Amino acid sequence: MKKALRLPLLFTALIVLASGFALHAAAGERNRGNRFKASFTETAASITNRIADLKTFQLINTGSGTVDEFGTATVVVGITQDRSVAPCGPGSWTNAATRRIVLEAGVLLLRESSIACPTASGPVITGTYKVDGLSSTGIFTGARGTGKLMVNVSTSTATLSGKLRLADSDGDSDDD
């Protein structure tokens, strides 16, 4: 009787184990270990220049690009520059931005904080971002993550890299 039960139990345990590995592999393929990498080409669509009286410059950039593992995307970035500070010397400033990345799978919203520093070829912007999972939609609803960004103003290119943890994916919760 015991031998008759062992074989079906062993077979069931193997199926459960194999299913668990398959589900884990599928989740890993969907978001490649929670890594995030994107690049965009952007242009200014709207500009509000209040540097003279408020030391503030606002712009809305639009563009397109790619997000690894998720495909082509369009982007809208609302940026406020504080020109009253110079974090890396004369001609520098700080930025606060909201980046909306529209993909087939949903909308990913990022909150950005950065500084713009002058270089021989024009300003280069470096900073960090944090995923806003509450404002994101589709598969990005409830997502978390952080990372770094760099914008080369003279070439109008933005690159982002870091972590993206989808709400329904496995992984460390330390990637906030």
pLDDT tens-digit map of 67-103: 999 999 999 999 999 999 999 999 999 999 999 999 9
Do the domain assignments include residue 63? yes
Residue 147 amino acid letter: G
pLDDT in tens, 17-61: 444 444 344 444 455 579 999 999 999 999 999 999 999 999 999
pTM for this predicted structure: 0.79
Residues 6 or more apart whose Cβ sits within 8 Å of residue 153: 116, 122, 123, 124, 125
Strand partners, 130: 111, 146
Is residue 155 assigned to a domain?
A: yes
Q: Is residue 24 part of a domain?
A: no
Quick check: is 9 in a domain? Answer: no
- The boundaries of the domain holding residue 60 are 33-175
Residue 14 domain-assigned (yes or no): no
Q: Do 50 and 58 meet the contact criterion of CB atoms below 8 Å apart?
A: yes
| Tally of domains within the chain | 1
> What CATH number is attached to the domain comprising 124?
2.40.480.10
* Cα gap 96→58, rounded to integer Å: 10
